[in-house]
């Protein structure tokens, strides 16, 4: 069996130029996708209002970091993945597509159809499954397939943060940074700190398990590093007057007694404005204003181990040359075993998850509300 495989490597995307005519439409698409967070507002009108209000600050961030490298790094990652799959004998083509910039998911699906792809695999490159990222991206793929009335063999993967090979590579990335910079997590004045992209509480109330995935990801990495103490805070974008995950980074860091913070941005697999501007500039200035030091661990976007991990995920989702069924069964890749089950956060036809079969404790926000009642 040598079916033609098309892989949609899906990322968030950021504008290629820090200009109003590029940034405003980009932000408008983001706000419009999440319009249900303010159901009483006019969706498109409100999205435009929010976009125009946020654009000047985001343009300033892009200018400060010399432009976002996200799209370039994602494209390079897609090329590396295609090379890896072809080296394994797969007739594969990888399409680097983005939720909020071009080439879009719609364009990627249309191109795959034009190229005569037999099997289409959707891989959102988000470490932790969130409603507005992973789930929304997979929903868009399904909508595109329906709109085109195209029925290739479709498989998608949603959550994969808990996979052993991924936890190991993120752990080793932190360990290498500590060694290179002479930092010791056993020093009581040094704190391992996870900065996490925030999410609206509404999405957690609707069943998304992002907050619980965050809890276990931080715990797993800390355990492997032998760190008994660690902190967790969220990068919340408070454009809308709604409840977000807590605590905010500033609140959590203000109460930390340690003088040195080793910051790990576990929500990202690329450098972008949220890492290069929000962490390396804004958060660093805040930390230093408290008389503390910020040491930020780079994102391992070009890791060969991560490329191999993504290739393993893709191979889990497509039939083997021996005719083994794709999805739903354990698959032994070159760097671990993936046991896939139906996704709970994105219950769509053909979408699988490494977390689907796992029961998790209640959301910490649900626990807080239950305790208060």
Per-residue pLDDT tens for 225-272?
A: 999 999 999 998 877 788 999 999 999 999 999 999 999 999 999 999
CA-to-CA dists, residue 131 to 34, 114, 128, 334, 359, angstroms: 10, 30, 10, 30, 19
Give pLDDT, residue 321: 43
Give pLDDT, residue 1: 54
> What is the SS3 assignment for the chain?
CCCCEEEEEEECCCCCCCCHHHHHHHHHHHHHHCHHHCCCCCHHHHHHHHHHHHHHHHHHHHHHHCCCCHHHHHHHHHHHHHHHHHHCCCCEEEEEEECCCCCEHHHHHHHHHHCCCCEEEEEECCCCCCHHHHHHHHHHHHHHHHHHCCCCEEEEECCCCCCHHHHHHHHHHHHHHHHHCCCCCCCCCEEEEEEEECCEHHHHHCCCCHHHHHHHHHHHHHHHHCCCCEEEEEECCCCCCCCECCCEHHHHHHHCCCCEEEEECCCCCCCCHHHHCHHHHHHHHHHHHCCCEEEECCCCCCCHHHHHHHHHHHHHHCCCCCCCCCCCCEEEECCEEEECEECCCCCCCCEEECCCCCCCCCCHHHHHHHHHC
Encode burial over 128-140: b for 16+ CB neighbours within 10 A, e otherwise.
Answer: bbbbbbbbbbbbb
273-329 pLDDT, tens digit each: 999 999 999 999 999 999 999 999 999 999 999 999 999 999 988 865 444 445 444
Give pLDDT, residue 370: 47
Q: pTM for the whole thing? A: 0.91
Q: What's the start-to-end Cα distance of the chain, in Å? A: 58
- How confident is the prediction for the chain on average, in pLDDT? 90
41-97 pLDDT, tens digit each: 677 888 889 899 999 999 999 999 999 999 999 999 999 999 999 999 999 999 999
Give pLDDT, residue 304: 96
Give pLDDT, residue 337: 58
27-43 pLDDT, tens digit each: 999 988 887 776 666 77
1-27 pLDDT, tens digit each: 578 999 999 999 999 999 999 999 999
Sequence spans of domains, the chain: 20-65, 164-296
Q: Report residue 373's pLDDT band, with 50, 70 and 90 as the boundaries.
A: very low
- Average pLDDT of the segment spanning 344-351: 84
Number of Cβ within 10 Å of residue 17's Cβ equals 11
Answer whether CATH 3.40.50.1400 is correct for domain 164-296.
yes
167-224 pLDDT, tens digit each: 999 999 999 999 999 999 999 999 999 999 999 999 999 889 999 999 999 999 999 9
């Amino acid at each position: 069996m040598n079916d033609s495989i098309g892989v949609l490597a899906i990322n968030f995307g950021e504008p290629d130029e820090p200009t109003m005519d590029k940034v405003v439409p980009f932000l408008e698409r983001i706000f419009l996708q999440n319009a249900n967070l303010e159901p009483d507002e006019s969706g498109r009108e409100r999205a435009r209002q929010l976009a125009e209000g946020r654009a000047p600050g985001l343009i300033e961030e892009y200018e400060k970091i010399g432009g976002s490298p996200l799209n370039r790094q994602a494209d390079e990652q897609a090329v590396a993945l295609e090379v890896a799959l072809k080296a394994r004998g797969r007739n594969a083509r990888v399409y680097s597509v983005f939720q909020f910039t071009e080439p879009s998911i719609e364009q990627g699906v249309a191109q795959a159809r034009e190229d005569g792809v037999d099997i289409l695999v959707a891989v959102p490159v988000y470490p932790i499954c969130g409603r507005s990222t992973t789930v929304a991206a997979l929903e868009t793929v399904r909508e595109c397939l329906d709109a085109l009335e195209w029925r290739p063999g479709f498989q998608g993967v949603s959550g994969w943060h808990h996979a052993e090979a991924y936890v190991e590579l993120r752990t080793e990335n932190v360990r290498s940074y500590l060694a290179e910079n002479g930092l010791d997590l056993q020093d009581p004045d040094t704190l391992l700190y996870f900065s996490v992209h925030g999410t609206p509480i509404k999405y957690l109330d609707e069943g998304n398990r992002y907050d619980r995935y965050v809890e276990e990801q931080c715990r797993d990495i800390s355990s492997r590093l032998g760190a008994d103490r660690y902190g967790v805070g969220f990068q919340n974008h408070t454009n809308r007057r709604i409840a977000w995950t807590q605590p905010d980074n500033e609140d959590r860091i203000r109460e930390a007694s340690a003088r040195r913070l080793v910051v790990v941005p576990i929500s990202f697999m690329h450098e972008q404005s949220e890492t290069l501007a929000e962490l390396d500039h804004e958060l660093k200035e805040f930390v230093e204003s408290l008389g503390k030091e910020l040491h930020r661990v780079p994102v391992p976007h070009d890791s060969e181990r991560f490329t191999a991990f993504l290739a393993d995920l893709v191979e889990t989702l497509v039939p083997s040359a021996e005719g083994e069924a794709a999805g739903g069964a354990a698959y032994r890749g070159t760097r671990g075993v993936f046991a896939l089950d139906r996704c709970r956060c994105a219950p769509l036809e053909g979408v699988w998850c490494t977390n689907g079969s796992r029961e998790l404790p209640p959301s910490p926000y649900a626990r807080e509300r239950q305790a208060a009642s």
